[in-house]
């Protein structure tokens, strides 16, 4: 296998990175946000077409309010700055997750950034904000049921492919590779449907320290894996 077309990342370990340096957790998130720009550039250079990052989960609202506020501020700051990165990287930005719960100002910034960047295709960056897979699937099911009720879709037409069209990721191919940093071996409600056939790569490196070399290491590990039966399509029959 060559370079994965789509890499999804669970950017874990910001808090521990900060604690190990005697810094507040929010300093870890600030460093983590800086790393997003470094990894976007590296991914593009290595030929990755889609990068999907877990920035804020539906569960993260239960963190201490100052931490939630700091994360929202970092996301807002990223969106303010991203026009330059978007142009430099010819990058299309998308946000997945239920953004209706976010501050209206942040929602506007998301819409603007998505609109401005829609002309680019070199790198597709997707940021998951207020995202949880179960929530995404329930929202998708509701939309699908409404279509059935309005006679726009037959129950017999519901298939894995047609269901995918109702998900937030409808325009994005499924990830080839999932990376989780900082040693945890869980999916944490991230892209559960989309990761059905993805390779997994776990590393002990904390997200702020996950640099170009670490990304390359993950890609090399992916490339050297031998998929039995020669590929995903055949694997589905096993």
Residues acting as catalytic residues: 12, 60
CA distances 136 to 164, 187, 195, Å, are: 11, 15, 14
Per CB under 6 A, 4 contacts ligand FPP: no
Residue choice 29, 44, 92, 94 for contact with ligand FPP (CB under 6 A): 29
Per CB under 6 A, 210 contacts ligand FPP: no
Give long-range contacts, CB 8 A cutoff, 24+ apart: 105-113.
Answer: 105/76, 106/72, 106/75, 106/76, 106/79, 109/76, 109/79, 109/80, 110/79, 112/79, 113/79, 113/82, 113/83, 113/86
Map the footprint of ligand FPP across residues 153-182, applying CB under 6 A. 182
x/- binding map, residues 60-99, to ligand FPP, per CB under 6 A? x----------x--xx--x---------------------
Per CB under 6 A, 32 contacts ligand FPP: yes
Residue choice 39, 48, 55, 218 for contact with ligand FPP (CB under 6 A): 55
Q: How far apart are CA 75 and CA 227, in angstroms?
A: 37
Residue that the structure tokens 């945890």 belong to: 184
For ligand FPP, the binding residues (CB under 6 A) are 11-16, 29, 32-33, 36, 53, 55, 60, 71, 74-75, 78, 127, 182, 207
């Amino acid at each position: 296998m060559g370079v994965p077309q789509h890499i999804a990342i669970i950017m874990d370990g910001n808090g521990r990175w900060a604690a190990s340096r005697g810094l507040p957790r929010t300093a870890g998130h600030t460093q983590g946000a800086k790393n997003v720009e470094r990894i976007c550039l590296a991914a593009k250079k290595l030929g990755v077409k889609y990068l999907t990052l877990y920035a804020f989960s539906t569960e993260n609202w239960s963190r201490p309010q100052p931490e939630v506020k700091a994360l929202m501020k970092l996301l807002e700051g990223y969106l303010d700055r991203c026009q330059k990165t978007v142009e430099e990287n010819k990058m299309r930005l998308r946000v997945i997750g239920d953004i209706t719960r976010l501050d209206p100002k942040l929602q506007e910034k998301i819409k603007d950034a998505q609109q401005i960047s829609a002309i680019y295709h070199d790198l597709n960056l997707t940021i998951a904000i207020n995202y949880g897979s179960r929530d995404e699937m329930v929202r998708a099911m509701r939309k699908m049921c409404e279509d059935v009720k309005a006679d726009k879709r037959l129950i017999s037409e519901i298939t894995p492919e047609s269901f995918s069209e109702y998900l937030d990721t409808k325009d994005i191919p499924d990830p080839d590779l999932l990376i989780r940093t900082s040693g945890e071996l869980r999916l944490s409600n991230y892209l559960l449907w989309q990761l059905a056939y993805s390779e997994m790569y776990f590393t002990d490196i904390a997200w702020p320290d996950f640099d170009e070399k670490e990304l390359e290491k993950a890609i090399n590990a992916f490339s050297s894996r031998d998929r039995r039966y020669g590929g995903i399509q055949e694997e589905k029959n096993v």
